[in-house]
């Protein structure tokens, strides 16, 4: 996601307005950043899911 | 991150033989660079070189796709000169100036002839050199595309690297589905959708990790799996229907264009009239009708309880009046007034309060009668209002119904005229016209059916999602019962909650972005359009259909001139660009083709200023800028060293880009 983009503000505003849970917000933010990193790359579903699992583990443990 | 191109280096790429470098001097106020070349000289391939280097694709000048098909990327003269088992390479190198410092991106392809003399081309290799912690970091292969995506994601390249012909035709031939897709791309909802898909897959993975299971857990998991696969199937169906709608819309544009522009005068004028009628019905009258109907329904919902309870309300009203008359309920004495009298110790007639009167008043205040009186008084006022509403019901509903009926009959009249026109066109004795008219009917039916099915499927998916959420909640509850499953339950809760938030985010964001794009497009259009007083608004409705509202209130989209279409396309693209937040150079191939002198003058004077601060590279033909005013306009924003000419040899197999002062019409090198 781009920094300071109008679109990001809109997406983040919507997430903020519809989500009171900080952990959910963090998970979504991290997931979107990860999606941008792998955009247009051939990354296997298994690798993607492994990264997501690690992310969930990290957030739940903190 | 903002970036501009400081130079483009081509080695044996397509018709560019040897190594050729195009340097761009970057200056804030003079943001324009011009590369001039005749048709087919290699302008589109400069744009292709850029997209090939950055994303590995060549998409520009698709009208010449057949010419490119099968042609090696490595220059054909270089390939021809190779002996058997010899190789060469093509490379495009782009030097960028970014906020972080200079970047270099290069893509290279090896190729040559095998031992039998057959031409081969290998895989491409992408290298990115970028500044990282005060050093130049070199990244090759894996990871390079992600880096480039931080500069400009591939899905957005079409809004920055623009084919003028496509831009010109964008609103003439684009369907609402394509406009919706463009907004999807720019809003990066693709990313959000992908994240959502991965959340769903992760949820499945987590479900399988349940260590201690019970019959109820298994049953719930089974139900969730079943709903998920059902949702997945329906999504596939929805996508299929969306493609059908898109195809039907695309074909309809072709069919309508044929009927509108054919040489049979009567058919052409009838089709024009039909298109105007349909636009009016679908874009104006029917939305108005829907809004009036929903207003009337809301009114009925509000008033219905009072109509049903009319009798009890009336008897309550007379009961209150009766009590007031008997003095059991003071009609106009408020608690504050009583307290004020007691405090002042003087009656409103001017006499002091007797001890007896004071006692009565105190008793009055303490007996909480005031509460009841307040309620009675305010209740009486409300009842009065309700009764007057009931009284006015018949006339109000009549008024609303008359408005709705009038609009319905207006729509019906127009629909009948559309049917009449369709019959007349069908009655035409030219086979081609009949064929297109029949095809039009088929497409309209296909589109309507597909829309209906898609809407049905969408509601089914929404219901299934609700059901799935219920089961998920229940499953989480069941999992929490077992100690071993608690950590997993927590993870599942995080994932399912995130899924729900993302799903909601997608719907709301898309609507908000559509409105923002609409607002920005209108503002840009008003800035760029020459006849400012003629148009008052650009509307992108809920169905993603675009209307340009004329000062007289009708949709003028079908009546725009070539220049106005281009301005609309530019306004829309610029709106998308500003919303995307990516700050990349804008490169337009053939921006002024098909424009009259007046529009050329207007656009070249407005566009560089409009895109002020953004590097603007125009790839033009000599004809496009063969106009004194255009030259003067561009000169204001052009550093002379940023003017290039493409010189090609006679068979057009080789081209050279050189700094120039004029366009190359007279400068074609004749190889002979």
pLDDT in tens, B367-424: 655 555 565 666 667 788 888 888 899 999 999 999 999 999 999 999 999 999 999 9
- Mutate: best of B144, B190, B194, partner A, most A CBs <10 A: B194
CA dist B528 and B531 (Å) reads 9
For residue A36, tell me if it sits in a domain: yes
Question: What per-residue confidence (pLDDT) applies to A40?
Answer: 60
Q: The tokens 């309507």 sit on which residue?
A: B448
Residues 25 through 54 of chain A touching chain B, CB cutoff 8 Å: 27-28, 31-32, 34-41, 45, 48-49, 52-53
- Measured between beta carbons, the chain B residues lying within 8 angstroms of A5 are 579-582
Does the structure show a pLDDT above 60 at B254? Answer: yes
Residue B26 · residue B121 · CB < 8 Å: no
Does the structure show a pLDDT above 90 at B480? Answer: no
Bigger pLDDT: B374 vs B456: B456
What pTM was estimated for this model as a whole?
0.64
Does the structure show a pLDDT above 60 at B221? Answer: yes
For residue A1, tell me if it sits in a domain: no
How does residue B178 score in pLDDT terms, banded at 50, 70 and 90? confident
- Using CB atoms, which residue from B494, B504, B579 is nearest to A27? B494
How does residue A2 score in pLDDT terms, banded at 50, 70 and 90? very low
Distances (CA, A) of B107 to B52, B93, B157, B318, B639: 8, 7, 17, 89, 29
**In which domain, by residue range, is A56 found?**
6-61
**Could B202 and A49 be called an inter-chain contact, meaning their C-beta atoms sit closer than 8 Å?**
yes
Q: In this prediction, what percent of chain B has a pLDDT beyond 90?
A: 34
Q: With CA atoms as reference, report the closest residue to B51 among B112, B5, B1, B99.
A: B5
Token pair in block for residue B393: 């019901």
When divided into structural domains, chain A yields a total of: 1
How does residue B61 score in pLDDT terms, banded at 50, 70 and 90? low
B424-451 pLDDT, tens digit each: 998 888 888 999 999 999 999 999 999 9
Token pair in block for residue B14: 């397509």
Kindly state the DSSP code that residue B557 receives in the 8-state scheme: G
Q: Cα A18–A20–A23 angle (5° rounding)? A: 115
- Using CB atoms, which residue from A8, A34, A36 is nearest to B581? A8
Bigger pLDDT: B269 vs A4: B269
B628-643 pLDDT, tens digit each: 899 899 989 998 899 9
Does the structure show a pLDDT above 90 at B460? Answer: yes
Chain B residue with CA closest to A24: the answer is B498
Question: What per-residue confidence (pLDDT) applies to B346?
Answer: 79
**Could A37 and B146 be called an inter-chain contact, meaning their C-beta atoms sit closer than 8 Å?**
yes
**Could A36 and B578 be called an inter-chain contact, meaning their C-beta atoms sit closer than 8 Å?**
no
Tell me the domain boundaries of chain B. Answer: 3-24+42-165, 213-264+428-481, 296-421
Does the structure show a pLDDT above 70 at B547? Answer: yes
Token pair in block for residue B657: 């880009």
- Measured between beta carbons, the chain A residues lying within 8 angstroms of B495 are 27, 56
Question: What per-residue confidence (pLDDT) applies to B145?
Answer: 83
**Could A1 and B192 be called an inter-chain contact, meaning their C-beta atoms sit closer than 8 Å?**
no
CA dist B284 and B291 (Å) reads 11
Does the structure show a pLDDT above 90 at B99? Answer: no
A55 touching B, CB under 8 A? no
The kind and range of the H/E element at B418 are: helix B369-426
**Could B198 and A31 be called an inter-chain contact, meaning their C-beta atoms sit closer than 8 Å?**
yes
Smallest CA–CA distance, residue B501 to chain A, in Å, is 7
| Average confidence (pLDDT) over B590-595 | 84
Please, which residues have CB within 8 angstroms of residue B507's CB and are 6 or more apart in sequence? none
A28-54 pLDDT, tens digit each: 989 988 887 776 667 888 899 999 999
Q: Taking the alpha carbons of B506, B510, B512, B517 in that order, is the dihedral positive or negative?
A: positive
Whole-number average pLDDT of chain B:
85
- Work out whether strand B3-13 and strand B87-98 pair parallel, antiparallel, or are unpaired: antiparallel
Question: What per-residue confidence (pLDDT) applies to B11?
Answer: 96
Question: What per-residue confidence (pLDDT) applies to B666?
Answer: 40
For residue A10, tell me if it sits in a domain: yes
Question: What per-residue confidence (pLDDT) applies to B85?
Answer: 93
Question: What per-residue confidence (pLDDT) applies to B62?
Answer: 46
Question: What per-residue confidence (pLDDT) applies to B54?
Answer: 93
Question: What per-residue confidence (pLDDT) applies to B334?
Answer: 56
Question: What per-residue confidence (pLDDT) applies to B672?
Answer: 31
Question: What per-residue confidence (pLDDT) applies to B586?
Answer: 92
CA dist B343 and B358 (Å) reads 10
Neighbouring C-beta atoms of residue B346, cutoff 10 Å:
11
Question: What per-residue confidence (pLDDT) applies to B396?
Answer: 93
For residue A13, tell me if it sits in a domain: yes
- Measured between beta carbons, the chain B residues lying within 8 angstroms of A2 are 1, 580-582
B266-311 pLDDT, tens digit each: 898 999 899 888 878 887 788 889 989 999 999 999 999 888 888 8
Chain B residue with CA closest to A33: the answer is B191
- Measured between beta carbons, the chain B residues lying within 8 angstroms of A24 are 494, 497-498, 501
| Average confidence (pLDDT) over B112-130 | 92
CA dist B56 and B60 (Å) reads 13
Residue B640 · residue B661 · CB < 8 Å: yes
- Using CB atoms, which residue from B150, B490, B501 is nearest to A15? B501
A60 touching B, CB under 8 A? yes
Q: How many residues does chain A have?
A: 62
**B3-24+42-165 is classed in which CATH architecture?**
3-Layer(aba) Sandwich (3.40)
Distance from the Cα of residue B429 to its chain's centroid = 42
Residue B483 · residue B496 · CB < 8 Å: no
Question: What per-residue confidence (pLDDT) applies to B65?
Answer: 43
Smallest CA–CA distance, residue B524 to chain A, in Å, is 16
Exposed/middle/buried for B653, CB within 10 Å: 0-12, 13-18, 19+?
middle
Exposed/middle/buried for B475, CB within 10 Å: 0-12, 13-18, 19+?
buried
CA dist B372 and B352 (Å) reads 28
B8-19 pLDDT, tens digit each: 999 999 999 999
Question: What per-residue confidence (pLDDT) applies to B576?
Answer: 84
Pairs of CB atoms within 8 A across A/B: 124
- Work out whether strand B3-13 and strand B16-23 pair parallel, antiparallel, or are unpaired: antiparallel
CA dist B238 and B250 (Å) reads 18
CA dist B606 and B598 (Å) reads 12
Q: Residues of B at the A interface (Cβ-Cβ below 8 Å)?
A: 1, 55, 142-143, 145-146, 149-150, 153-155, 186-188, 190-192, 194-195, 198-199, 201-202, 205, 487, 490-491, 494-495, 497-498, 501-502, 504-505, 508-509, 512-513, 516, 578-582
Bigger pLDDT: B39 vs B484: B39
B319-366 pLDDT, tens digit each: 878 877 776 665 555 556 777 778 888 776 777 888 888 888 777 777
- Mutate: best of B143, B189, B191, partner A, most A CBs <10 A: B191
Q: The tokens 């909802």 sit on which residue?
A: B189
Chain B residue with CA closest to A47: the answer is B198
């Amino acid at each position: 996601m781009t920094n300071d983009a109008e679109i990001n503000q809109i997406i983040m505003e919507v997430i903020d307005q519809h989500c009171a849970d900080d952990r959910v917000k963090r998970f979504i933010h991290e997931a979107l950043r990860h999606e941008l990193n792998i955009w247009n790359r051939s990354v296997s579903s298994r690798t993607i899911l492994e990264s997501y699992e690690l992310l969930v583990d990290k957030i739940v443990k903190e | 991150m903002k970036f501009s191109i400081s130079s483009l280096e081509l080695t044996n790429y397509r018709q560019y033989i040897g190594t050729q470098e195009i340097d761009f001097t970057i200056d804030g106020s003079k943001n324009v660079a011009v590369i001039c070349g005749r048709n087919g000289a290699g302008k589109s391939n400069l744009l292709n070189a850029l997209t090939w280097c950055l994303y590995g694709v060549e998409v520009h000048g698709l009208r010449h796709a057949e010419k490119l098909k099968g042609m090696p990327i490595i220059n054909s003269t270089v390939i021809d000169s190779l002996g058997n088992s010899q190789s060469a390479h093509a490379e495009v190198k782009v030097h960028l100036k970014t906020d972080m410092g200079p970047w270099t991106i290069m893509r290279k392809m090896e190729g040559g002839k095998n031992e039998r003399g057959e031409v081969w081309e290998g895989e491409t290799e992408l290298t990115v050199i970028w500044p990282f912690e005060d050093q130049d970091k070199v990244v090759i292969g894996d990871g390079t595309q992600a880096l480039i995506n931080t500069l400009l994601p591939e899905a957005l390249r079409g809004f920055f690297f623009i084919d003028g012909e496509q831009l010109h035709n964008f609103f003439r031939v684009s369907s609402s589905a394509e406009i919706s897709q463009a907004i999807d791309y720019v809003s990066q909802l693709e990313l959000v959708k992908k994240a959502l898909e991965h959340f769903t897959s992760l949820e499945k993975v987590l479900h399988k990790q349940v260590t201690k299971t019970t019959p109820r857990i298994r049953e719930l998991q089974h139900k969730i799996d079943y709903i998920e696969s059902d949702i997945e199937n329906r999504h596939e169906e929805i996508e299929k229907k969306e493609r059908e709608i898109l195809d039907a819309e695309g074909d309809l544009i072709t069919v309508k264009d044929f009927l509108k522009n054919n040489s049979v005068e009567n058919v052409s004028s009838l089709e024009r009239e039909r298109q105007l009628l349909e636009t009016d019905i679908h874009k104006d009258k029917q939305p108005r009708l829907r809004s009036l109907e929903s207003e009337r329904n809301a009114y009925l919902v509000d008033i219905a309880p009072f109509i049903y309870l009319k009798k009890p309300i009336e008897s309550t009203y007379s009961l209150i009046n009766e009590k007031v008359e008997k003095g059991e309920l003071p009609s106009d004495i408020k608690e504050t007034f009583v307290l004020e009298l007691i405090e002042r110790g003087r009656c409103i007639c001017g006499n002091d309060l007797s001890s007896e009167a004071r006692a009565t008043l105190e008793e009055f205040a303490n007996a909480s009668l005031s509460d009841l009186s307040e309620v009675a008084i305010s209740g009486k006022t409300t009842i009065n209002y309700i009764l007057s509403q009931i009284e006015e019901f018949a006339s109000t509903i009549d008024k609303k119904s008359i408005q709705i009926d009038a609009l319905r009959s207006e729509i019906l009249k127009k629909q009948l005229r559309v049917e009449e026109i369709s019959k007349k066109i069908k009655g035409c004795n030219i086979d081609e016209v009949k064929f297109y008219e029949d095809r039009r009917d088929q497409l309209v039916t296909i589109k309507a059916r597909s829309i209906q099915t898609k809407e049905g499927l969408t509601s089914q998916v929404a219901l299934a999602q609700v059901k799935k959420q219920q089961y998920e909640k229940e499953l989480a509850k069941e999992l929490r019962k077992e100690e071993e499953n608690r950590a997993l339950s927590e993870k599942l809760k995080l994932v399912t909650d995130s899924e729900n938030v993302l799903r909601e985010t997608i719907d709301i964001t898309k609507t908000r972005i559509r409105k923002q794009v609409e607002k920005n497009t209108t503002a840009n259009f008003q800035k760029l359009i020459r006849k400012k007083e003629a148009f008052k608004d650009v509307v992108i409705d809920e169905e993603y259909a675009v209307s340009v509202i004329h000062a007289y209130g009708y949709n003028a989209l079908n009546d725009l001139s070539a220049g106005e279409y281009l301005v609309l396309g530019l306004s829309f693209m610029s709106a998308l660009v500003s919303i995307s937040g990516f700050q990349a150079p804008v490169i337009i191939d053939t921006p002024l083709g098909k424009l009259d002198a007046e529009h050329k003058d207007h656009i070249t004077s407005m566009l560089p200023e409009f895109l002020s601060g953004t590097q603007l590279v125009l790839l033009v033909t000599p004809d496009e800028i063969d106009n004194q005013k255009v030259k003067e306009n561009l000169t204001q924003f052009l550093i002379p060293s940023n003017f290039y000419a493409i010189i090609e040899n006679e068979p057009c197999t080789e081209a050279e880009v050189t700094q120039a002062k004029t366009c190359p019409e007279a400068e074609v090198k004749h190889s002979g």
